Amino acid sequence: MINFNVPPYTGKEIEYMKQAVENQKICGDGPFTRKCSEYIEELTQTTKCLLTTSCTHATEMAAFLIDIKEGDEVILPSYTFVSTANAFVLRGARVVFVDIRPDTMNIDETLIEDAITERTKAIAPVHYAGVGCEMDTIMDIARRYNLAVVEDAAQCIMASYKGKALGTFGEFGCFSFHETKNLSMGEGGALLIRDVRDIEAAEILREKGTDRSRYFRGQVDKYRWQNYGSSYLPSDMNAAYLYAQLELAEEITQARLARWNQYMELLTPLAKEGKIELPYIPDHCTHNAHMFYIKTKDMEERSRLIEHLKKKDILAVFHYVPLHSAPAGMKYGRFHGKDKYTTKESERILRLPMFYKLTEDEVEYITGQIKEFYK
């Protein structure tokens, strides 16, 4: 059976976790958490990285930090994971969905401006499959209308737009290190902070509303309750697991890219015959092979292909029932403009197995079975 995902494992994780235990520092913000944060800051060239318990939590933190309030509106795609919307809905905002581009499955940047009202507070672009949204356009709109930008960069470690790391454009960027992502710590994430002036508020929010971070740095002699807050810091054991993967981030990414390129090469003939569609990567985007997907003619054909692959011991999956058509989406949001592509494209997309240790032979077998199906 070829699984759809196998969580990345490099071999050093256990050794580092053992070290974390021996350090007698298994709570948050220990040595491995610091190492991971510094590594990510260096890698992305961002001002500050705070490790969190998930990307969901990082996005919730961002919603607090840009001061989302009851009645505010946030613009995002409907084709995304629920967490992008939940973070703002939890603060009482309405989510305003706009259509996606069929080529990258990212928010259509040309439709954002029309969805802005006097209540709009933020834009939350999602870089689907580690392929950047049109950040030049989005940042320009944000500047002209004075809107905050929170990037859902859950799938984006090691990916960039015009040479700049995804997650570093907006005020805040949110990474995920869930076991389904390119690098993992089981459950976990990171909040990337662009502006120095946001760091202190973020640290306080993350540390139960206290200035314990300043206390640990020796900047104050006792820590006190400063503001509302919660607990968003992961155990140092989980950070130790992640650190082993960060050290091999380049190797993991290259291994995935090799399989991604192989899929592309072997499936191009089918695409040329018009049987399927393949992903598109704009020239100015460097992706991280988070995902390899194809698009079938329609939902019915997709179901038959999934069945065919299952019989051949291959697990292929689809995702994202568009949020605007889900019960909570109808309650907390609205779709602005026409749903030209969101529903249609979401019904055609099929994700093929993609993980660190996927082999060349496996990709050959999988693509062979897809060709067999279309014969």
Ligand X SMILES: *Cc1c(COP(=O)(O)O)cnc(C)c1O
Q: Return residues touching ligand X (CB under 6 A).
A: 54-56, 80-81, 83-84, 126, 152, 154-155, 176, 178, 189
Closer residue to ligand X in complex, CB, 246/270: 246
Closer residue to ligand X in complex, CB, 84/296: 84
Closer residue to ligand X in complex, CB, 176/226: 176
Closer residue to ligand X in complex, CB, 120/182: 182
Locate the DSSP E strands across 160-266: 160-161, 164-165, 172-176, 189-193
Q: Give the Å distances, CA to CA, from 224 to 196, 204, 232, 234.
A: 22, 10, 18, 21
Quick one: tokens of 88?
A: 């703002």
Q: Nearest distance from residue 60's CB to ligand X, in Å?
A: 9
Q: What is the DSSP string of 279-300?
A: ----TTEE-----EEEE-SSHH
Q: Nearest distance from residue 153's CB to ligand X, in Å?
A: 8
Q: Nearest distance from residue 169's CB to ligand X, in Å?
A: 16
Nearest to 159 by CA among 141, 133, 180: 133
Closer residue to ligand X in complex, CB, 35/57: 57
Q: Check: CB of residue 157 under 8 Å from CB of residue 290.
A: no
Q: Give the Å distances, CA to CA, from 115 to 70, 75, 103, 199, 207.
A: 18, 7, 21, 30, 36
Q: Check: CB of residue 191 under 8 Å from CB of residue 171.
A: no
Q: Nearest distance from residue 178's CB to ligand X, in Å?
A: 4
Q: Nearest distance from residue 216's CB to ligand X, in Å?
A: 25
Nearest to 36 by CA among 13, 59, 4, 7: 13
Q: Nearest distance from residue 127's CB to ligand X, in Å?
A: 8
- Distance of alpha carbon 292 from alpha carbon 282, whole angstroms: 15
Closer residue to ligand X in complex, CB, 55/89: 55
